[in-house]
Amino acid sequence: MDLMAMDITAAAVDPALLDLPWDVPLEEWPSNLLAALPRGISRHIVRFVNLSGRVLAVKEIGPTVAHHEYDLLRDLSRLDAPSVQPVAVITGRKTPEGEELNAVLITEHLQFSLPYRALFSLSMREDTATRLIDALALLLVRLHLLGFYWGDVSLSNTLFRRDAGEFAAYLVDAETGELHPKLTDGQREYDVDLARTNIIGELMDLQAGGFFPEDADPIDVGDRIRTQYDLLWTEVTAEESISNDQRQYLVSERIRRLNDLGFDVAELHMSTDSSGERLVIQPKVVDAGHHNRKFMRLTGMDVGEHQAARLLADIDVWRATNGLQDLSLEQAAHEWLTDVFAPVVRAIPRELAGKLEPAQLYHEYLEHRWYMAQQAGHDIPREEALASYITNILQSKRDEAILIEPGPGRASMISAEAHPDLW
């Protein structure tokens, strides 16, 4: 391979990148280099590579588009947007015979994430689609607030991670994206309309393949992206007129609703109308991740927004049931982390540890313990509930962080042959 002919653009180059067969078309790369992760539908050749202890997604694409997407993903990363992290762009690839090959864009795989088709292979329910669409609507609002015009919104261009009982959505394909100081209403509307059209088509394809209930209407489900987006956008940005005698209560209520949706209000514009009897309020700057930031401040753990809300609630319950209300929240969180959360995570057998993120695992354990208590009519000890969860729930779950080469003597739990719909 002629390394001198290649050009690598990267914030920090991993020397191991140079050892990959860049003089071979991506679709011909040997299987021993690849990681067994389900791929979504893509117009480009995409492969996952296990390199230096991490998994990288490698996509063949034209050099101009590759550099455009790399720069956009770097900008989105700096803005703390929910998107994959760019690693490098490599151009100037040639075969040993001198044939020019497409450039590649390299991104870091989002661990514990799955494309939507993989999720439907696990649970073929209309409710699954509803939760995915809600997550996509929130992602779209967050991106639009940052001034990002996507231009190709779809379930296929999104990755999903479990987030307590919901999903969190991440942008994975920014080829057509543009970053502006502020989006016009037309740009936002185009993204939402395109999302609706693409979602309906994707659900119809799933239905035709037997992966979506026959009695569900893909159009009705797809219409939800518009409804959810409009509700979120209105709540986050709309002006609200309130009477002066209710201002303290209603301003606090507006902020509480935004917090419940996962947004912090960094700036709130307030003005009186011409009569001076009413106050007009409008959030001017909102930042996503309200519960995440609070939980990270208390514990140092970076978890999903819904996971953070669930774990914060568990801390409150633990304080109340143990008569620790006088304990500061900071101290209570520290003791909860040491005495409650950590023992559950440590009790998971090593061979099952890659199935779910620790925060998601703990959430599911709580749900299982609650269900057992409902059935039994009394509280269930931690050890009993945990043993039941591991045996009856966790063992049957697919390993969502599995690689194609898990190590000598260990078979992959997922393969292209066994699950052709995911690859």
- The Cα 118–Cα 120 span in angstroms is 5
Distances (CA, A) of 297 to 79, 260, 286, 343: 20, 18, 19, 21
Burial classification of residue 213, based on how many CB atoms lie within 10 Å of its CB (0-12 exposed, 13-18 middle, 19 or more buried): middle
Burial 110-128 (b: 16+ CB within 10 A, else e): bebbbbbbbbbbeebeeeb
Q: What is the pLDDT of residue 409?
A: 36
In degrees, to the nearest 5, what angle opens at C-alpha 85 toward C-alphas 79 and 88?
A: 120
Tally of CA atoms within 13 A in the half-sphere of 13 that contains its CB: 10
Q: Which residue has the tokens 């307590």?
A: 164
Q: Amino acid identity of 329?
A: L
Q: What is the pLDDT of residues 272-302, one digit of tens each?
A: 776 767 778 788 777 778 888 899 899 988 8
Lowest mean pLDDT among 123-132, 134-143, 198-207: 123-132
227 or 320, higher pLDDT: 227
Tokens of 417: 């042959």
Q: What is the pLDDT of residue 38?
A: 54
pLDDT at 126 over 80: no
Band of residue 361 on the pLDDT scale cut at 50, 70, 90 = very high
Q: What is the pLDDT of residues 62-88, one digit of tens each?
A: 999 999 999 999 999 998 899 999 999
State the chain's maximal CA–CA distance in angstroms.
Answer: 80
| Contacts of 57 by beta carbon, 8 Å cutoff, 6+ apart | 46, 47, 48, 49, 84, 106, 107, 108, 109
Element (DSSP H or E) covering residue 212? none
pLDDT at 412 over 60: no
Q: What is the mean pLDDT of the chain?
A: 84
pLDDT at 37 over 90: no
**Torsion sign, CA atoms 146, 148, 154, 158:** negative
- The Cα 170–Cα 157 span in angstroms is 9
